[in-house]
Amino acid sequence: MPINEFRAIAMFAKAVELGSIRRAAQAQRVTPQAASEAIAQLEQHLGVRLLHRTTRNLALTEEGQRLLENTQPAIAALDRALAMAREAKDDIAGPLRIVGPKSSFAPILMPVLDEFCRAYPGIQPDIQLDDGIGNWVLERMDVGFRIGTSPSEGVIGRQLFSIQMIVCAAPAYLASHGVPATLDDLVTHRCSVFRHPATGKVSPWYLTVDGKLEHRLMSPAFSTNDTEIELQAVLAGQAIGQLANFSAAAHIRAGRLVPVLLQHMSAHIGLHIYYGSRAAQPKRVREFLDLAISRLLDSPAFVLTEKELGTASRGWQDAQRRGK
């Protein structure tokens, strides 16, 4: 029968420490028979007797004394290491490995991470920007964020909020080019498009038409593979664009952008948080998960209500009519 040398040596050392195989079995949470068999197998494996034992007493043999002296430092070091590992899981300090999308980490996730690091200065963030999930185990990630559909690759996922894709433009652009009333009107407008950083392919606009999701490739007057540059171009009046709510919400509320074609707005994807088994996570990871969920779940900072969108759209157009 194969022998687990470490367990057998640990049982031997515990029996010597407590002066009884029965008490050693209780301490190690095994039966006395299993404890006795482990020590007997160790003796057979080594080819020497380690203990003189009677029904009441244990005594070390010369070989047993040498084995105990040589293994005690290693057993003590391992016990210390295990104790430190148990204590470390409750520390809110140390590395926190996070993967998140390039397009939204700064506006959405950086404020949450900043709040967490201010509360727990011992945290050491390790941020990887990636729009995919990758190999969770090999990359040793603690928490991930993803824009799209819910991840299903062996992790626990939860949607934090829907991503509204809003067609919008700066007031100056609309004053110069007019307000599109239908999708067909966009043919005469300067449209911005996003190019996928990895492939260079133009992403379509995702639009709701008669209750169904459609995607349309727009003729680009402005294209980029960076969402912040696209936002700045739309704010500057260079183009009309379809922007995600996390980029556009604050500017719509401030009047710097005007939403149009609201009947065609889509919200078919979301921002998701994902992680491994929560039960085995260190406390620093669990605390960050709790903070991220509490701050971002259906966050009004990024999700515009139907009333807000309607007011922003009608308000600007009403002001234009009054100005005329």
Instruction: Quote the pTM value.
Output: 0.72
132 shares a domain with 81: no
**Span 141-173, pLDDT tens digits:** 899 898 988 776 678 889 999 999 999 999 999
**209: number of Cβ within 10 Å:** 12
Domain boundary pick from 88, 123, 146: 88
Alpha carbon 44 to chain centroid distance? 51
pLDDT for the residue numbered 324: 56
Q: Using the 8-state DSSP alphabet, how is residue 1 labeled?
A: -
Task: Give dist(CA 225, CA 203) in Å, integer.
Answer: 10
Alpha carbon 94 to chain centroid distance? 16
Question: What is the chain's pLDDT, residue by residue, as a tens digit (324 residues)?
Answer: 456 788 888 888 888 888 888 888 888 888 888 888 888 888 888 888 888 877 677 888 888 888 888 888 888 887 777 776 666 656 788 999 999 888 888 889 999 999 999 999 999 999 998 766 555 544 678 998 989 887 766 788 899 999 999 999 999 999 999 999 999 999 999 999 999 877 889 999 999 999 999 999 999 999 999 999 999 999 999 999 999 999 999 999 999 999 999 999 999 999 999 888 767 788 899 999 999 999 999 999 999 999 999 999 987 777 777 665
Task: Give dist(CA 233, CA 291) in Å, integer.
Answer: 33
136 shares a domain with 74: no
- Site of tokens 């100005």: 323
Task: Give dist(CA 233, CA 223) in Å, integer.
Answer: 10
pLDDT for the residue numbered 98: 93
186 shares a domain with 208: yes
Helix (H, G, I), strand (E, B) or coil at 240: strand
67 shares a domain with 192: no
267 shares a domain with 178: yes
**Amino acid letter, residue 305:** T
Containing structural domain, residue 306: 94-324
DSSP string, 165-207: EEEEE-HHHHHHH----SGGGGGGS-EEEEB-TTT-PBPPEEE
Cβ atoms of residues 134 and 99 within 8 Å = yes
Domain boundary pick from 88, 115, 137: 88
pLDDT for the residue numbered 58: 83
120 shares a domain with 194: yes
pLDDT for the residue numbered 1: 45
27 shares a domain with 114: no
Cβ atoms of residues 276 and 153 within 8 Å = no
For 176-184, the CB contacts below 8 A with 24+ separation are: 176/237, 177/240, 179/258, 179/260, 179/317, 180/240, 180/260, 180/261, 181/261, 182/261, 183/207, 183/209, 183/216, 183/261, 183/264
pLDDT for the residue numbered 303: 95
